[in-house]
């Protein structure tokens, strides 16, 4: 045997041919050919990781927002105070309008009479309290709107302006009526004005009570103005 002979070349079989050879052999034996499955792509393994996380949108009703709790409490107090102030203003207007007393001296043909419309200050006082009572009734729906929607700043501004006007009008009317009532109780010696409450007891009681009730309504209105200003500043 000669050592100079070259070694036999190795036969190389491609992978595709091997797969085809095995497939043909499995088909010959009645077996289903094996199907090569490719590994899943890396991008499809975690599709949720690629998508940005979207937080669920909160659709809450403004009435239940926690940030408006303080404003809603102030608005509710405003609503209650308007109902409370309605009583004194209406009582003052009715008491003044019904303050009519007549005294008979010697005979029924010679009488002394005291009525609220005999005094322009008391007439203005009665009209001012009637206007304030009507305003309080008309302002209740606006105050209820503020309770339901504390962010309604325009309604708060409207109520603040109207309340300030009512404070000024009621203060002037109550001060004028208080001067007349004091004069009826004490008189004025320098001007030779005698006190009439010594004779007209019913007239003086009604007008005095009306003045006290009106000043109570003025205090409530002042508190309403302070509440409205505080609420607007907080917003």
pLDDT in tens, 95-128: 999 987 776 665 555 666 778 888 899 999 999 9
CA angle 158, 161, 167 (to 5 degrees): 135
Look at residue 75 in the predicted model and tell me its pLDDT.
85
Tell me the per-residue pLDDT of 171-226, one tens digit each, with 9 for 90 and over.
999 999 999 999 988 888 888 788 888 888 888 889 999 999 999 999 999 999 99
Instruction: Residue 166: name the closest of 208, 120, 220, 210 by CA.
Output: 220
Look at residue 235 in the predicted model and tell me its pLDDT.
59
CB 108 within 8 A of CB 219: no
Tell me if the pTM is above 0.85: no
Q: Could you identify the residue written with the tokens 């009637």?
A: 130
| Distant-in-sequence, close-in-space partners of 101: CB < 8 Å, separation ≥ 6 | 113, 114, 200, 201, 202, 203
Instruction: Residue 224: name the closest of 158, 164, 157, 139 by CA.
Output: 164
CA distance 95 to 90: 9
CA distance 139 to 181: 31
CB 133 within 8 A of CB 93: yes
CB 76 within 8 A of CB 147: yes
Show the tokens assigned to 22: 């095995």
């Amino acid at each position: 045997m000669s050592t100079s002979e070259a070694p036999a070349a190795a036969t190389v079989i491609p992978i595709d041919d091997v797969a085809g050879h095995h497939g043909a052999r499995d088909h010959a034996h009645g077996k289903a050919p094996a199907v090569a499955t490719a590994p899943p792509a890396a991008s499809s393994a975690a599709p949720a990781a690629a998508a940005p996380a979207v937080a669920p949108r909160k659709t809450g009703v403004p009435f239940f927002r926690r940030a408006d709790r303080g404003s809603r409490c102030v608005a509710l107090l405003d609503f209650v105070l308007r109902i409370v102030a309605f009583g004194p203003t209406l009582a003052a207007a009715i008491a003044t309008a019904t303050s009519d007393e007549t005294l008979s001296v010697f005979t029924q043909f010679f009488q002394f009479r005291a009525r609220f419309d005999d005094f322009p200050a008391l007439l203005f006082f009665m009209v001012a309290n009637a206007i304030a009572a009507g305003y309080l009734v008309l302002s209740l729906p606006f105050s209820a709107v503020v309770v339901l929607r504390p962010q309604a700043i325009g309604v708060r501004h409207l109520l603040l302006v109207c309340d300030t006007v009512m404070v000024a009008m009621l203060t002037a009317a109550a001060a004028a009526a208080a001067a007349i009532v004091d004069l009826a109780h004490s008189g004025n010696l320098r001007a030779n004005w005698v006190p009439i409450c010594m004779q007209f007891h019913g007239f003086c009681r009604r007008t005095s009570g009306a003045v006290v009730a009106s000043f109570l309504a003025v205090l409530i209105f002042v508190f309403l103005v302070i509440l409205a200003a505080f609420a607007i500043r907080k917003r």
